[in-house]
Structure 1
Amino acid sequence: MNVGIDKLNFFVPPQYIDMVDLAHARDVDPNKFTIGIGQDQMAVSKMTQDIITFAMHAAQPLLTAEDLAAIDMVIVGTETGIDESKASAVILHRLLGVQPFARSFEIKEACYGATAGIQFAKNHIQANPESKVLVVASDIARYGLASGGEPTQGAGAVALLITADPRILTLEDDNVMLTQDIYDFWRPVGHQYPMVDGHLSNEVYINSFKQVWQENCRRNKRTAADYAAICFHIPYTKMGKKALLAGFESDEPAQQDRLLARYEESITYSRRVGNLYTGSLYLGLISLIENATILNENDRIGLFSYGSGAVAEFFSGRLVKGYQQQLNKQGHEALLDARQKLSIEEYEQLFDEKIDVDVNKTFNDDLLYSIQEIRDTIRYYKESNE
């Protein structure tokens, strides 16, 4: 039985800043951002927009009444949780109108959480072929104004519906996992922003890819020639390219060039969005299959997932015949094009605005789904534009 991705979609907030503007404001050569880390724009969120609102905008357009009746599991992968106890998936389950007899939970392991959710979903569907599982990766990446990590911020969500007989990508049984207890990136309880050892983080990311790739080749008896493309977790677009070049440095130049061409297609959207944390790999997958020029049915796509701390996983899927009909390139490009460009002053003002859950207050946001009220520490969401 084939199990995999039947539907997928992404959403990013309707505001962004230009990285050249940010570079000038921080007295940095713009090439450091646009070439050095490979970012052109960065998504910016308002305080009335959180992982629930992003998840709703990503998931709701995908789901039919039939889907809502068949989904018996809702999984949210995030490292931007809004509650130390209650899972965001429980709130998402209600807002979407999923049938009540479902399992809903949240997974945390830095940027790896959504991949764990997809693998859990795959196993569940294999045992329950008639069910469907909604997996959502939703995050807000923040490091602080004028911090070293500021140019690698971003926000948004990716929603994936996992089913039997999927119409986009069938997942193969070839996963290679790696766990290492390393402090390259972490956020202790009570800290507003993460702690980052940038040099170590880059080193661990690249070495993790090399390890799981080499083990994949040994265990599954494959080479680069067996993959039409490889998608990477993309904290910034130059990072995945570094790992690709390091992992395939001994391959023929033609193989490197072929994979690099597909990689460039996979970062089209990320260059305009920034870091989605748990959603970054899957934004890259959407970008690849919506922008690639030579992919065909049954092509194998490799996926490298990485979560600092550190957990890595390499796995793959095969494109399903007619997958192009399930995509939404025009809608995704329209979403990105319609965003409001902020000045750096406007961005900094938004960045400093924060919701105090201990203060009862109502809010007004133009988004279809947004935080409408804080009452007795509970977030209440606007559920429609009516």
Structure 2
Amino acid sequence: MKLGIVDMELASANYVVRLDTLAKATGVDPNKYRFGLRQEAFSIPALDEDAVTLGATAAARVLERAGQEGIRTLIFATESGVDQSKSAGMFVHSLLGLSTAVRVIETKQACYAGTAALQLALGLVSRNPSERVLVVASDIARYAVASAGEPTQGAGAVAMIIGADPALLEIEPVSGIWSAHIDDFWRPNDLSTPLVDGERSMDAYLGAFTGAWEDYRARGGFELAEIDFFVHHQPFTKMAIKGHRRLVEHTGKNVEESRVEPSLNYTPYLGNCYTASLYIGLLSLLHFKRELSGKRIGCYSYGSGAEGEFFTGVVQPGYERFLHPNIAAQEIAGRTELSFEEYRDLHVAHERGSAVNYSNSRKTRAPYRFVGLCDGARVYADSTLPIVTGTWNVHEGH
């Protein structure tokens, strides 16, 4: 029985900051970003957007195509959680109008959580092949201004339906895992931006890669020569190339970087999307490389702290019929560009402090929006409609 990805789609945020704009304003050579990171821009959310609205938008797109039938579980993977108790998936469940007969959970392990959700979903489907699982990986990478991470910010989400007889990608059963406690990247509860040891994080990424690869091979995984293309976690685009070079060096095999390049078309313009990053790379490969039927794809997922996993999937015959690259193109082209001053003002505005009541004016063009807080409770709505919650009225501009 084949198990894997039935359908998948992405979503991003309302605004974009071009790195040329950031470089000019901060006196940095733009080539440092263009060639050092291989980044061109990053998405940034409006005040009425967050991980929930991005994830709900991506999920609505796949459900519109595939329907809700058989979905018994929603797993929301994020490191941009909106509540310390309630799963962000509960808000998505409500926005999408899913059945009450759906279990909802949230997974967290930095950027790796999307793959953890995928593997959990595969286990559920293997137990009951008539069921499907909705996996949503959604994140907003936000770093302190003037920090080394500032040009690698980003925002995006990928939603996937996991089931039997997948139309897009069969996930093969063997995977390799490597985990160790490493303080390379973390965000305490009282901070809105993470703490990062950049050099240590790169070393952890690469070490977890070779460790996961060795575990994969020890468990009977395919040789490099049997893998046609690769998708690696992309905190910034150049990192995926660095990872591939380390794998080549580690194995002593000559595997061309052309097998990685098709997966690197979206991250330069969306920025770091944490849990969604690997799957945005997978969509890039599926959208930009033709004739992939029967091809085996090697996927490396990494999450700081640190955990890595290497697994493979086989592209299914007729997969092209289930792809919609026009949506990704519209997401990237449709964002509103911010000036440096507008961007920095918005960055500050996202610092909400300890407020328990506020409302956001409508800015997003997406189907869902974060309306604000009412006595500390988060309120979401269809972005085209005003909402009334108790005695608290929220309308455009208030």
* Secondary structure at the counterpart of residue 357 of structure 2: coil
- Find the aligned partners of 1:65 and 1:202 in 2 and give their Cα distance: 38
- Find the aligned partners of 2:221 and 2:75 in 1 and give their Cα distance: 32
- Find the aligned partners of 1:174 and 1:366 in 2 and give their Cα distance: 41
* Secondary structure at the counterpart of residue 363 of structure 2: coil
Corresponding residue for 1:270? 267
Corresponding residue for 1:127? 127
Worse overlay, 282-291 or 220-229: 220-229
- Find the aligned partners of 1:302 and 1:69 in 2 and give their Cα distance: 30
- For structure 2, the 5+ residue unaligned runs are 386-398
CA drift of 1:67 comes to: 3.1
Query: 1:360–1:377: 8 Å Cα contact kept in structure 2?
Result: no
- Find the aligned partners of 1:341 and 1:48 in 2 and give their Cα distance: 17
- Find the aligned partners of 1:123 and 1:10 in 2 and give their Cα distance: 24
What does residue range 296-375 of structure 1 map to in structure 2 within 5 Å? 296-354=292-350, 355=352, 357-361=355-359, 363-367=361-365, 368-375=367-374
Corresponding residue for 2:289? 292
- Find the aligned partners of 2:64 and 2:265 in 1 and give their Cα distance: 29
Corresponding residue for 2:229? 229
- Find the aligned partners of 2:190 and 2:243 in 1 and give their Cα distance: 33
Distance 1:221 1:77, change over 3 A: closer
Q: Deviations over 1:96-121 (max 9, x none)?
A: 11111111010110001111111000
Query: 2:177–2:211: 8 Å Cα contact kept in structure 1?
Result: no
- Find the aligned partners of 1:75 and 1:304 in 2 and give their Cα distance: 20
Q: Which amino acid aligns with 1:346?
A: E
Distance 1:128 1:353, change over 3 A: same
Q: Deviations over 1:328-359 (max 9, x none)?
A: 11221122112111111111111111346412
Worse overlay, 318-327 or 362-371: 362-371
Q: Deviations over 1:35-75 (max 9, x none)?
A: 00110111111221001110111110211497323210000
Which one of 258, 278, 281 corresponds to residue 281 of structure 1? 278
Q: Deviations over 1:72-110 (max 9, x none)?
A: 000011011110111111111111111111110101100
Distance 1:165 1:359, change over 3 A: same
CA drift of 1:221 comes to: 5.0
- Find the aligned partners of 1:105 and 1:175 in 2 and give their Cα distance: 23
What does residue range 1-80 of structure 1 map to in structure 2 within 5 Å? 1-64=1-64, 67-80=67-80
Q: Deviations over 1:306-341 (max 9, x none)?
A: 010001111111000011111111221122112111
- Find the aligned partners of 1:23 and 1:296 in 2 and give their Cα distance: 38
- Find the aligned partners of 2:65 and 2:24 in 1 and give their Cα distance: 49
* Secondary structure at the counterpart of residue 67 of structure 2: helix
CA drift of 1:192 comes to: 1.7
- Find the aligned partners of 1:360 and 1:346 in 2 and give their Cα distance: 21
- Find the aligned partners of 1:168 and 1:2 in 2 and give their Cα distance: 11
* Secondary structure at the counterpart of residue 89 of structure 2: helix
CA drift of 1:210 comes to: 1.4
Normalising by the residue count of structure 2, what TM-score does the alignment of the two structures yield?
0.92
- Find the aligned partners of 1:270 and 1:262 in 2 and give their Cα distance: 17
RMSD, aligned α-carbons: 1.6
CA drift of 1:21 comes to: 1.4
- For structure 1, the 5+ residue unaligned runs are none
Distance 1:342 1:107, change over 3 A: same
Normalising by the residue count of structure 1, what TM-score does the alignment of the two structures yield?
0.95
Corresponding residue for 1:111? 111
CA drift of 1:204 comes to: 0.9
Corresponding residue for 2:384? 385
- Find the aligned partners of 2:156 and 2:72 in 1 and give their Cα distance: 24
Distance 1:338 1:215, change over 3 A: same
Identity among equivalent pairs (%): 36
Give the total of aligned pairs. Answer: 382
Query: 1:6–1:169: 8 Å Cα contact kept in structure 2?
Result: yes
CA drift of 1:263 comes to: 1.6
What does residue range 148-163 of structure 1 map to in structure 2 within 5 Å? 148-163=148-163
Query: 2:184–2:197: 8 Å Cα contact kept in structure 1?
Result: yes
* Secondary structure at the counterpart of residue 133 of structure 1: strand
* Secondary structure at the counterpart of residue 81 of structure 1: coil
Corresponding residue for 1:145? 145
Q: Which amino acid aligns with 1:129?
A: P
